């Protein structure tokens, strides 16, 4: 039995037909965790869909109405890059409910895992990049509304920048706070090939995104810390940048909850990524996040985000390893 809960439903499956996004990965992660005896049935908790009221904590009423009534324009649907259906709407509401439940478990057990979610490209008024509803933001706003947390930090390690996250939480930044002028070099940044760390203001949610610079999204709204990584970066340099971003973030900000977005797409065999991390390196990445959180006794909520390995089995392995890393560290 695991010392934390895994939030999962078979209905996480996204009905999007033949697509680069492997919609079956959630079920495959669930099945692999059981088959390898990393988890047992009792470790899993089934979520309920988020309420419309929860989704409206982040998303604009007009956008929610379009989703519920199937009235997105063709260009809005195209921007989402997944085919609209009422079933798809239900799957995203369920993923958001799963992240709310994972956050609640994180606050109770120190860690809570959503075997799904991490839809970090969803904006308040539109979806894009395979993301319709920003489940992580919904969970944060719900925990704040319930007075369970005051502050949160997102640690986004998907290969694509967390543009939705940055946009959603930018509006709540405290404008009177001084802009940290610390440059990457004076932070003692990794000596590897030229990554760049950018800082901005932070309000009640501090956003960190570590991503490939030359990749989607073209327009990258500022996170509190953006680490723009060069193409082809390997394990050691990546881990050094992550370590640096985490220490820098936690020097500036004390979160009541860390939301770790554990994308599997920095992997060297990923079809939509251009970094060169190994499966072992990605597990070390997970361990680093969990170790840092544990040392500071900050609860962690985990979501999965992207993963487009040529062989879906690799994506499943990377996602399962995040559970292994949590078990080992926590």
- Point out which residues bind Zn ion (CB under 5 A): 158, 160, 263, 265, 306
SS3 assignment, position 329: helix
- Maximum distance among all alpha carbons in the chain? 53
How far apart are the C-alpha atoms of 127 and 129, rounded to whole Å? 7
**Phi, psi at residue 7, to the nearest 5°?**
-90, 125
Q: Is 193 helix (H, G, I), strand (E, B) or coil?
A: coil
Spatial separation of the C-alpha atoms in residues 133 and 16, rounded to whole Å: 15
Closer by beta carbon to Zn ion, 318 or else 329: 318
Query: Would you list the DSSP string of 270-300?
Result: BSS---BB-HHHHHHHHHHHHHHHHHTT--E
CA nearest neighbour of 269 among 285, 260, 281: 281
Cα–Cα dist 296/283, whole Å: 20
Q: Which residue's CB comes closest to Zn ion?
A: 306
H or E, element range at 79: helix 74-80
């Amino acid at each position: 039995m695991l010392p934390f809960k895994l939030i999962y439903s078979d209905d996480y499956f996204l009905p999007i037909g033949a697509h680069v996004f492997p919609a079956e990965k959630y079920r495959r992660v669930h099945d692999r965790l059981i088959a390898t005896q990393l988890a047992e049935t009792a470790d899993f908790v089934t979520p309920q869909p988020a309420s419309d009221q929860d989704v409206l904590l982040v998303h604009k009423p007009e956008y929610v109405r379009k989703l519920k009534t199937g009235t997105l324009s063709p260009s809005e649907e195209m921007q989402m890059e997944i085919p609209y259906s009422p079933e798809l709407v239900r799957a995203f509401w369920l993923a958001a409910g799963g992240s709310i439940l994972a956050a609640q478990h994180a606050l109770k057990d120190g860690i809570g895992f959503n075997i799904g979610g991490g839809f970090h490209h969803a904006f308040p008024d539109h979806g894009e990049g395979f993301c319709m509803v920003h489940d992580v933001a919904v969970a944060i706003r719900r925990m704040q509304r319930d007075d369970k947390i005051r502050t949160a930090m997102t640690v986004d390690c998907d290969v694509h920048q967390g543009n939705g996250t940055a946009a959603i939480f930018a509006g709540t930044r405290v404008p009177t706070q001084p802009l940290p002028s610390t440059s990457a070099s004076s932070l003692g940044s990794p000596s590897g090939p030229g990554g760049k760390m950018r800082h901005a203001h932070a309000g009640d949610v501090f956003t960190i995104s570590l991503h490939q610079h030359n990749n989607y999204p073209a327009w990258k709204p500022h996170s509190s810390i953006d680490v723009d990584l060069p193409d082809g970066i390997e394990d050691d340099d990546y881990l050094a940048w992550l370590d640096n971003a985490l220490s820098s973030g936690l020097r500036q900000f004390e979160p009541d909850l860390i939301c770790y977005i554990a994308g599997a797409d920095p992997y060297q065999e990923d079809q939509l990524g251009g970094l060169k991390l190994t499966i072992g390196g990605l597990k070390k990445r997970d361990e680093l996040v969990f170790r840092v959180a544990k040392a500071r006794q900050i609860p962690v909520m985990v979501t999965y985000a992207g993963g487009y390995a040529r062989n879906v089995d690799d994506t499943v392995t990377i996602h399962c390893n995040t559970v292994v890393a949590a078990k080992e560290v926590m």
